[in-house]
Amino acid sequence: MTALLSVRDLEVNVGDVRVAAGLGFDLEAGQRLAILGRNGTGKTTLLSTLAGLREPGAGSLLLCGESYEKLGLRRAARLRGLLPQGHLDAFQSTVLETALIGRHPHLDRWAWEGREDERLAREALAAVDLAGFGAREVHTLSGGERQRLAIAALLAQQPGLYLLDEPLAHLDLNHQIAVLDLLSRRAREDGVGIVMVLHDINLALRHADRALLLFGEGRTLEGPAEAVLTVETLSRLYGHPLREMRDGAARYLVPE
Amino acid sequence: MPTRRRALLVILLLALLGLASLAIALAAGSLPVSAADIGRALFGDTAGDTEGVAAEVVRSLRLPRALAAFACGALLALAGALMQVLLRNPLADPYVLGISGGASVGALGAMLLGLPALLVHGGAFGGALAATLLVFGLARGEGSWTQTRLLLTGVIVAAGCGAAVALILSIAPENKLRGMLFWLMGDLSHAATPAPALLMLALGLLAALPFSRDLNLLARGDITARALGVPVARLRGGVYVLAALATAVAVTTTGAVGFVGLVVPHLVRLAIGNDQRVLLPAAALAGGILLTLADTLARTIVAPQQLPVGVLTALIGVPVFLYLLTRSPRGGAS
């Protein structure tokens, strides 16, 4: 079976910063990959490269076995979805209309959103605890509600691969867990792949199968989360000493 | 929930209002014309008719002028709506990137040289395109093409054109000043033929409507739009060219009529939302209606004197806009 995302010898640069060099990994259906790194190491740049929105410096990148160039923007948009950081709302729009933008790549040029699209959008809103918000104006939402709405638009897009840039930003604790549980369920039950930029090590330990660390200057480490997320690597990653605590089988990493 | 049915309903309603506004424009004026006269003038055969004068006035004076007003109002509103998406700013207008400034320099320059009307139109069109290309070329720079940069370049080019216009006005002989001022304010009494504006309107709508759902996404940010499959760079280039051409044709026909391109898309958006699939045609129709009615007022309110229509649109537009600005939570300091 072809991997959802296949990365070989990938080199990513932004300005003078080398984000990754010689990066290679496969993400299979149902796997969840957490990307961790300090501020400014290029996590967002890497994610938009993986989304095909940025040319890599070198190397190859295959989505479902095909290059982005061959797929084209529209087909790619049906296979992978991106949750960007921050959301622009220059114009008025309702919550339902905003969730419906995820249906765009599935609609023909002259087609309008139909009942099925509306059902999917409402389901997505309910999944992020925004049921009943459909008619609200977007700019009346709080930061956390706006973030959940962006996740709902991504769910309505129904991609096979989710690329999420800090999906937990602005979310309160219960919604952080709810969103991660939702993503994990999609991975387990529907076999979608998840790539997410996270800052919480312990949530990454609980909700990721694999981890990718960006150390800066192009140095990266990728592997099974259990093996990669250790006191040694993470202390080195963040430049701050960490300590491991255990509660039965569960491991917790806390800053000294 | 956006539906096609609601969109068609809105557009049908506005189209009927548009026809009504054209009928008013044909009927109003110093020579009273009845509905029957209009019908005969448009559809009937009036050769040898005793009512020939009314039919002649409708056919060769009022109809071309009404159509020109409608088409130019529609073009300006369409260009304004497109610019607002392009600059992702609900307060942008078709002139914000210096198009009217360039056209003014071209037209007034031609007037100063005493060139015939056709070349004044040509000068306006050439000036508009020159300003467009200048702004586009400068803002593009090394490829990064941000809204802020485009906007700032446009504002600066417009300021430069303003200075050139002031220079032309200050050295122009007295007998040309009145014509120049009317041109600057926007005036339909010299609109030669509505054909180019009507053609451009048809082309503009045909070019923009297939991409209106893409424009909805463009309004939500480049990354979001690209991630959902919109070819952002190509779309923005196309929108820019289309808005510039629509504005250039309108300005060439009527001079720099203000506020239609700013207020109409904004008002329509408040009324029906920001779905470009409805907004673009609805704004075009509403712009056409507004300018047709404003021009009818301009030529009848102090008849036989004629006012420049731009004065009327500004007199209507400024208070409406200020009201929207204080009311809307997005426009002002929210």
**For A104, which of B229, B274, B330 is closest by C-beta distance?**
B229
**For B89, which of A90, A101, A110 is closest by C-beta distance?**
A90
Write the burial class of residue B64 (CB in 10 Å: 0-12 exposed, 13-18 middle, 19+ buried). middle
**What is the percent of chain B where pLDDT is above 70?**
93
Complex ipTM value? 0.94
**For B229, which of A76, A90, A118 is closest by C-beta distance?**
A76
**For B90, which of A77, A90, A112 is closest by C-beta distance?**
A90
User: In whole angstroms, what separates CA B99 from the centre of its chain?
Assistant: 12
**Model pLDDT, residue B45:** 62
* pLDDT mean across residues, chain A: 95
For residue B331, what pLDDT band results from cuts at 50, 70 and 90? very low
Across A136-145, B58-67, B252-261, the highest mean pLDDT is recorded for A136-145
Mean pLDDT value of segment A111-133 = 96
Mean pLDDT value of segment A156-161 = 97
The pair phi, psi for residue A18, each rounded to 5°, is -90, 120
**Any CB–CB contact under 8 A between B277 and chain A?**
yes
Type of residue at A16:
D
Above 50 in pLDDT, residue B186? yes
**What is the percent of chain B where pLDDT is above 90?**
52
Terminal Cα-to-Cα distance of chain B (whole angstroms) = 26
For residue B333, what pLDDT band results from cuts at 50, 70 and 90? very low
Residue of B nearest to A73 (CA): B229
Q: Are A39 and A240 in contact (CB under 8 A)?
A: no
pLDDT in tens, B90-120: 888 888 888 889 999 999 999 999 898 889 8
**Model pLDDT, residue B50:** 55
Q: Are B266 and B324 in contact (CB under 8 A)?
A: yes
What length is written for chain B?
334
- Token digits for A74? 């529209």
Question: What span, in angstroms and rounded, lies between the C-alpha atoms of B332 and B291?
Answer: 27
List residues in chain A touching B: CB distance below 8 A: 48, 51, 53, 73-78, 81-82, 84, 87-94, 96-98, 100-102, 104-105, 107, 109-110, 112-113, 118, 139, 157
Determine, for residues B90 and A91 on separate chains, whether the beta-carbon distance falls below 8 Å. yes
**Model pLDDT, residue A194:** 98
**Model pLDDT, residue B328:** 57
Which is nearest to A89 in space by CA: A153, A34, A132, A38? A153
Determine, for residues B228 and A105 on separate chains, whether the beta-carbon distance falls below 8 Å. yes
Residue of B nearest to A138 (CA): B330
Type of residue at B30:
S
- Token digits for B311? 């004065």
- Token digits for A157? 């897009």
Above 80 in pLDDT, residue B143? no
Determine, for residues A84 and B227 on separate chains, whether the beta-carbon distance falls below 8 Å. yes
pTM value?
A: 0.92
Above 50 in pLDDT, residue B136? yes
pLDDT in tens, A108-117: 999 999 999 9
> Distance of CA A149 to CAs A26, A32, A195, A219, Å?
29, 21, 19, 34
Return the minimum-mean-pLDDT range out of A72-76, B42-46, B227-231, B306-310: B42-46
B326 min Cα distance to partner chain A (Å)? 16
Q: Are A226 and A76 in contact (CB under 8 A)?
A: no
Mean pLDDT value of segment B245-271 = 90
Which residues of chain A neighbour B1 with C-beta distances below 8 Å?
A: 96-97, 100, 113, 118
DSSP A99-142: HHGGGGGGS-TT----HHHHHHHHHHHHHTT-TT-TTSBGGGS-
Which residues of chain B neighbour A164 with C-beta distances below 8 Å?
A: none
E strands of chain B, at which residues? none
B210 min Cα distance to partner chain A (Å)? 7
Question: What span, in angstroms and rounded, lies between the C-alpha atoms of A252 and A206?
Answer: 9
User: In whole angstroms, what separates CA B157 from the centre of its chain?
Assistant: 20
A50 min Cα distance to partner chain B (Å)? 11
**Model pLDDT, residue B49:** 55
**Any CB–CB contact under 8 A between B221 and chain A?**
yes
Return the minimum-mean-pLDDT range out of A207-216, A228-237, B172-181: B172-181
- More confident position, A120 or B120: A120
B218 min Cα distance to partner chain A (Å)? 10
Above 50 in pLDDT, residue B330? no
Above 80 in pLDDT, residue B1? no
Above 80 in pLDDT, residue B303? no
- Token digits for B138? 């400068």
A55 min Cα distance to partner chain B (Å)? 14
Above 70 in pLDDT, residue B48? no
Determine, for residues A88 and B228 on separate chains, whether the beta-carbon distance falls below 8 Å. no
What length is written for chain A?
256
- Cα-Cα-Cα-Cα torsion B175, B181, B183, B184, nearest 10 degrees, comes to 150
